[in-house]
Chain A
Amino acid sequence: MSERAASVTPAEEQHDDHEETTADSREPGDEGGPDDEAEPTPVATGAEAVVRALENAGVEYAFGVQGGAIMPVYDALYDSDVYHVTMAHEQGASHAADAYGIVSGEPGVCLATSGPGATNLVTGIADADMDSDPMIALTGQVPTEFVGNDAFQETDTIGVTTPVTKDNTFSTDADRVGTDVSEAFALAREGRPGPTLVDLPKDVTNGETDREPDEPRVPDTYEVQERADSEIVAAAAERIENAARPIMLLGGGVIKGEASDVCREFAIEHEIPVVTTMPGLGSFPEDHELAMEMAGMHGTGYANMAITHCDTMIAVGTRFDDRLTGGIETFAPDAEVIHVDIDPAEISKNIHADYPLVGDAGTVVEQLAEAVETSPQATKWRAQCQQWKSDYSMAYDAPEDEPVRPEFVVEALDEATSDRAIVTTGVGQHQMWACQYWTFTEPRTWVSSHGLGAMGYGLPAAIGARLAADDDQEVVCVDGDGSFLMTMQGLSVAVRENLDITVVVLNNEYIGMVRQWQDAFFEGRHSASDYGWMPEFDKLAEAFGAQGYRIDDYDDVADTIADALAYDGPSVIDAHIDPQANVYPMVPSGGDNGQFALTEDQL
């Protein structure tokens, strides 16, 4: 792998000169000018129109896997500046595109052929749907005349993906297909973001057309409300002024709506303690005095106390997921809820909004900021919050002579990286330790599968995140042994593209999160959760051409992390952690947030 690391890889090459061309071709007012050297050739086929639509939308990367029904599109990509990353599995393509969307804020693009290609994308599409991530999936389809005949590799992709997309379209016409893609791109990004899909029958992409795609524009039936009703804003502002125990609850919508700065200013100006949801990590700096960090099932004790006892909750961009709320009956039961969300359907869906504010997060929080004249008198409450922070400290014991604690590894990794480092994860205990023990300070640095909880997300997400991130941002994947096994074939991609990512497998040789639940709720019966054996991930990494490392003791931790981060290319640390380590605090499903358990016997 040293050979590879030394050579200039296609990704870098293409990335570099691509940036040059995009930089000048995207000068405002310069589009399509007669002396524009990047003057595109007119489209001749549906497939070329598809690719042109991506180019027009400013797409730089696409992630996918080839196959019969999508071949015309790939053929058109051959001449395009859009850089295609060939993934090892379509699930990886959709997760990579999803992560690209999270980090860049622009829809990530994934492609697959019909049938198995499309069905393999589904996990990543469903993930993007649950987490409102901007993403567009392009799937090949059998030629129109075969549709409905159970043709080879025919799947009703529209039927399969309708419940997990923001919108999907079956293209019927070569003249229209480019515009279908433009529209899908716009829909993925506008309003509440989400995944869109365009199903592309082969005769449509092969079909002749000279029709250039329209600009990316949402259909007329799609309208987004930016500003909230000013009367409700005024009433909410009055409520905030009179609050005795206010909190802000910042969700993923704050990050997607680029509202982190406005929310920070508002909270700091009015000295309101801030709790975040899991997707909201990074919206508020966790090293700030007002930060109560993450609430919910594995949230901090102090966040859960604050959320339970507040009298006024300014909830921004959150859908009150059950892992956040616990039992509805005991969720913030004394709080008047001011709910800011761009999606009217989220208002009062799970938690009744006393002050429903439909609109863009940044715009509405600015409206609130203008309307609030005096800060709430909440000195006592803030002192109480600080008291909870010390009562329910997240400090843990790490005796030298015992197996390495996962929390320690996460903290060491955080320590060794910059504030803007991006963290991706799989799903399980390791994901929760990453939430709890990484100090998030910047938006778009936390990349995880929240709503869907899809194991296997971490590595392909790191690939997508790497290509969206700035060069000086480290990309680390905190993975679980089980999660890593699900998509580790993506290492072949990371090596081929020479992507500088560092995977740290918190290896407990367990489906750890399940093992923890079995100990707590199933009398310790470890049904199908104890691997008992795991491949040696460091050696496996080497076999792929990545750099492999291993951690067994506390002494190894800092140096190994430093070496792996210094390695310019993909590296994997197989970190053998305490297999018995559990995640606390914990609110059992449907439980009372204020009654979180700190130890197993409190469950």
Chain B
Amino acid sequence: MSGGLEGPPPEERPTPEGRRNKQGIRIDPEVEATHEPRRTVISALVEHEPGVLAEVSGLFSRRQFNIESLTVGPTTDDDRARITLVVEEPDPGIDQVKKQLRKLIPVISVRELEPDAMRRELALVKVDADRPDQVAAVADMYDAKTVDSSPETATFEVTGARQKIDAAIETFGQFGIREISRTGTTALARGTDETAGREPAAAVSSAETANQTTYTQTHTDD
């Protein structure tokens, strides 16, 4: 083959001491901590128009963001919908999720909710009705409402945080679950704290970016 250039070969060159981790962060004692994935709720206020949901879900699959659930519903304003996402990513991934969501034109605002945010999910659980008394006792335990009953089956509605629903489903399991359907988590911030309001997307993102610097070492946003 022809080609090739003159110059000191690789093994004769000086090499730097430092390194970065896979997330592009320089590894030095201060920032050594590698980021473990964590589960969090992100709420987005969006224009209520066709295609927004497809755009958001497409973004998540395209960028390989780990998403656990996505729910969408109308708000008091007919022109706006709220999307609630539960994601599981390390901190840099969560930042990317928020920033990429904000880039979508129909997205009005995006916020990661505080850990104490109100989170609820609804599940329909259809079980075999062989032992109606015991089934009723379990339903009682989880505040589950009976939605339908037939000679063979009983269907309950359970609402609550994800963990409660997981537990209810596990307990109902002893009767033989025929089918379940879950809505995924929806959430709101507590008290006067606004979930994802009308403030312009870019303003929020710059504040967040500022918080993320290493020289201040703060993560006040989340």
Contact = CB atoms under 8 A, between A and B. Distances in A.
Interface string B90-115: 00100110011011011110000000
User: Chain A at the B interface: mostly helix, strand, loop or mixed?
Assistant: loop
B76 interface: no
Interface string A546-563: 000000000000000000
A352 B5 contact: no
Interface string B4-18: 111111100111111
A229 B6 contact: no
Given A392-B7, A602-B9, A221 B20 contact: no
Interface in B83-138: 92, 95-96, 99-100, 102-103, 105-108
Which range holds the interface residue count of chain B? 35 or more
A328 B24 contact: yes
A513 interface: no
Interface stretch (B65-73, B175-183, B186-194, B204-212): B204-212
Given A221-B201, A354-B214, A309 B22 contact: no
B2 interface: yes
A229 B107 CA distance: 24
Interface stretch (B50-58, B143-151, B157-165): B50-58
Contact of A354 (B106, B210, B213): B213
Interface in A156-200: 158-159, 162-163, 166-167, 170, 187
B212 A356 contact: yes
A221 B3 contact: no
A344 B205 contact: yes
A396 B14 CA distance: 24
Contacts of B106: 221
Given A163-B62, A331-B24, A585-B5, A597 B209 contact: no
A342 B62 CA distance: 22
Given A162-B55, A221-B201, A232-B210, A348 B92 contact: yes
A571 to B, nearest CB: 28
B203 interface: yes
Interface stretch (A58-66, A441-449, A476-484, A575-583): A575-583
A223 interface: yes
B201 A235 contact: no
A345 interface: yes
A224 B206 CA distance: 10
Nearest to B214: A354
Contacts, number: 170
A596 interface: yes
B167 interface: no
Which range holds the interface residue count of chain A? 35 or more
B203 A334 contact: no
A345 B23 contact: no
A589 interface: no
A195 to B, nearest CB: 13
Most chain A beta-carbon contacts within 10 A, residue among B6, B18, B25, B107: B6
Contacts of A392: 5, 7-8
Contact of B3 (A353, A355, A584): A584
B4 A393 contact: no
A308 interface: yes
A233 to B, nearest CB: 11
A394 interface: yes
B200 interface: yes
B108 A221 contact: yes
A37 interface: no
A352 B20 contact: yes
Given A225-B202, A580-B1, A595 B24 contact: no
B105 A225 contact: no
Interface of B: 1-10, 13-26, 47, 50-51, 54-55, 58, 62, 92, 95-96, 99-100, 102-103, 105-108, 200-203, 205-206, 208-210, 212-215
Given A220-B200, A393-B5, 6 more contacts: A334-B17, A348-B212, A391-B7, A394-B5, A594-B16, A602-B9
Interface of A: 158-159, 162-163, 166-167, 170, 187, 219-225, 229, 231-232, 235, 301, 305, 308-309, 320, 328-331, 333-336, 343-345, 347-356, 358, 391-396, 402, 516, 519, 578, 580-585, 594-600, 602
28 contacts: A167-B105, A308-B16, A328-B21, A330-B19, A330-B20, A333-B19, A344-B102, A344-B205, A344-B206, A345-B103, A347-B209, A348-B92, A349-B96, A352-B20, A352-B23, A354-B215, A358-B205, A358-B209, A393-B6, A395-B5, A396-B5, A582-B3, A582-B4, A584-B4, A594-B13, A595-B10, A596-B10, A598-B4
The 4 closest A-B pairs by CB, nearest first: A582-B3, A333-B18, A223-B202, A599-B4
